[in-house]
Amino acid sequence: MTRPKPAIGFHRQDNQLYVDGVALCDIADNFGTPCYVYSAAAITQAVQNLTAALTEPKPKIHYAVKANSNLAVLRLMQRLGVHVDLVSAGEYARACAAGFTPAQMVFSGIGKTDAELREAIANNIGQINAESAPEVKRLIALASEMGARPAVALRINPDSQAGGHAKLSTGSHQTKFGIPLDEAATLYKTMAESGTIQPAGLAVHIGSQIMEMDDFAEAWQKMRGFADALREAGYEVPKLDLGGGIGVNYNDGTTADLKTFAGAITQIFADSPYQLAIEPGRVLVAEAGCLLARVIHTKEGVDKRFIIIDAAMNDLIRPTLYEAYHRIEPVRESVDDADTLPPADIVGPICETGDYLGLARPMPALETGDVLAVRSAGAYSAVMRSNYNSRVMAAEVLVLDGAAHRISKPQTLDDLLGADIIPPALRDET
């Protein structure tokens, strides 16, 4: 008798929460908490869903490494045939270790150092996105010095207000990102006439957590018009990098309408001569991950409960940094009616009032040792961990083909202490 395939991603079965057929309570027992858990099947499905939604002209998908840069996740992306978008030399090293070639990389970021640019040029990275006049000047000088001709695109700033939070908006003139359109034409001419740079085209990225597709369309219309004007002036504009930012609704786990997103690309760039690329991150991994935490104890307040857990803001900074909402649910369902109990703040042990993962949440009665799952934690979560309060970083686990695999080494207190150096003048003489 053939067994039915397990459900993809996170799902309830027999009053417990599972991921790809593996019980999360077993993962918590086997790997400890706090612990990040990712579903390889859910990541695969997300890539397939986006690929299927895209129509002609079909952009190349460059996964934004900053969303989740674990080597196992990157290797999975590489196996799925996507390329990558990088913002640092560290991410370049990770992408190489995961099997990507330099030709499959776009190097973005507003503050690339000379060392990073030299490495990108020397390794012939597929495209460098320049974000300012000083960066273009440095690229020309470095390319001339090295006798190379790197492919460089200009990241334009279309002055668009978009993004799910002020700290996630990058397309306005009030932000540090990109080059205003009234300056970009002169810079593009400078690149084209430098003799040392191959003008690769234009790039744009207006923000993150964008749910309204009209925001993308407005920026892309400006980009298309500017690109067409450059071509009419006689300049080569081979590629247009449309950026990322497709939003995810963390309240219910749904994504922005991918068909509408793809339809806007088709409407604006149909019958155009440009090679297109997009840089999704969150939409491919956010819902494929969760953070597991155990209850330390419950503290009864005046008009609320405090559920104190072993995960904290150093494990998941998004609620504190962005006021982000993450669904939180017990791994094992309870018969208690949460509606009869006062709301609960789910908080960590760090000595900050801002150390919380959820506020005023309906929660059943919980006991010491119960496991909670903090959902939508596959993106911009583990990558933003820290050792604040000298806490070791949470482990990461990938469920692949029905088995759970540790994908990051456990960090110990000895690792933390061993990273510091006491100078000889402060050491005790023995």
Q: Which residues are catalytic?
A: 351
* Dihedral sign, Cα of residue 297, residue 384, residue 7, residue 337: positive
Question: Beta strand 328-330 with 371-374: parallel, antiparallel or unpaired?
Answer: antiparallel
- Give the 3-state secondary structure of residue 156: strand
The answer to whether 114 touches 249, Cβ cutoff 8 Å, is no
Question: Beta strand 344-347 with 356-361: parallel, antiparallel or unpaired?
Answer: antiparallel
| Nearest of 367, 350, 362 to residue 315 by alpha carbon | 350
Q: 365 burial class (0-12, 13-18, 19+ CB within 10 angstroms)?
A: middle
The neighbour count for residue 48, using CB atoms within 10 Å, is: 11
Query: 305 forms bridges with which residues in the sheet?
Result: 300, 344
Terminal C-alpha separation, the chain: 72
d(CA 157, CA 171): 6
Helix (H) or strand (E) holding 38: strand 35-39
| Nearest of 179, 155, 391 to residue 277 by alpha carbon | 155
Q: How far is CA 412 from CA 76, 326, 349, 393, 421, in A?
A: 27, 28, 18, 9, 17
